[in-house]
Amino acid sequence: MKARQKRLLFVALGVVGVGVAASLALSALRSNISYFFSPSQVMANEAPAEAVFRLGGLVVDDSIARQEDGLTVHFAVTDNAETVRVSYTGILPDLFGEGQGVVTKGRLGGDGVFYAEEVLAKHDESYLPPEVASSLKEAHVQGVVDAVTQK
């Protein structure tokens, strides 16, 4: 095989390989992403009923209640407009607490409770996840707009 042909073969193999890999990767990606919803969106029924998604906001004060088995915890998450109740079984991260920003991943139950499989921990107490920060801002703007239009 001549050098030129060889190089062409390599390039062709490379292009085909990258193409196949990219299409496989993208289709796998589509089934592996989880969307973020705020409590307001969940209460407005915008969140999927069956799929896993992420719910984030602030943990409502005095809402954390540990259940009888010692491992299940109930708490409520708010964006200062709406509130969603969350149930999680397992050990909570150290920085989890009332008034703190939190992101949870799980499914919405038929009873309107969000059953979390994962609660995200943060390294820094002053950190607010960007999604939570923006949903709080939206809820705040909506609240101001509502207050103004009612008058």
Partner 1 sequence: MIPEIGHFALILALGIAVIQAAFPLAGSFTRNQAWMGMARPLAWGQLLFIAIAFAALLQAFQADDFSVAYVAHNSNTLTPQVYKISAIWGAHEGSLLLWALFLAAWGAAVAGFSRNLPLDMVARVLAVMGMVSIGFLLFMLLTSNPFDRLFPIPPEGRDLNPLLQDPGLAIHPPMLYMGYVGFSVAFAFAIAALLGGRLDAAWARWSRPWTTVAWVSLTLGIALGSWWAYYELGWGGWWFWDPVENASLMPWLAGTALIHSLAVTEKRGAFKTWTVLLALFTFSLSLLGTFLVRSGVLTSVHAFATDPTRGTFILIFLCIVIGGSLALYAWRAPAVSGGGRFDLFSRESFLLTNNLLLTLITLLVLLGTLAPLIYEAMNWGKISVGFPWFNTMFVAVTPFLALFMGVGQMTRWKHDEPERLARELWLALVIAAVAAIATAVFMPLGSDTLLLVPLGIGLAVWVLTSHLAGLRERLRHKRGFGAMLSDMTGNGRSYYGMLIAHLGVAMFIVGITMVSNFDLEKDVRMAPGDTQEAAGYRFEFLGVRDKQGPNFQSQKGHFRVYQGDRQIAELWPEKRTYVASRQTMTEASINAGFLRDLYVSLGEPVGTSGDWALRIYYKPYVRWIWLGAILMGLGGLLAITDRRYRTATKAIRVPAGAAAARG
Q: Can you give the binding site for partner 1, defined by CB under 8 A?
A: 1, 3, 6, 9-10, 14, 17-18, 21, 24-25, 28-29, 32-36, 54, 66, 69-71, 89-92, 94-95, 103, 120-127, 129-131
Nearest to 89 by CA among 60, 57, 66, 61: 66
Residues facing residue 118 across a β-bridge? 105
* CA–CA dist 138, 48 (Å, integer): 20
Which residue, 54 or 81, is less far from partner 1 as judged by CB?
54
- By C-beta, is 76 or 88 nearer to partner 1? 88
**Mapping DSSP to helix (H, G, I), strand (E, B) and coil, where does residue 115 land?**
strand
HSE, side-chain direction, 13 A CA sphere, residue 24: 6
Q: Looking at beta carbons only, is 81 or 119 nearer to partner 1?
A: 119
- Shortest distance (Å) from residue 20 CB to partner 1: 10
Least separation in angstroms between CB 106 and partner 1: 13
Minimum distance of partner 1 from residue 125's CB (angstroms): 6
Distances 14 to 18, 114, 147 between C-alpha atoms, Å: 6, 46, 60
**Nearest-approach distance from CB 135 to partner 1, in angstroms:** 9
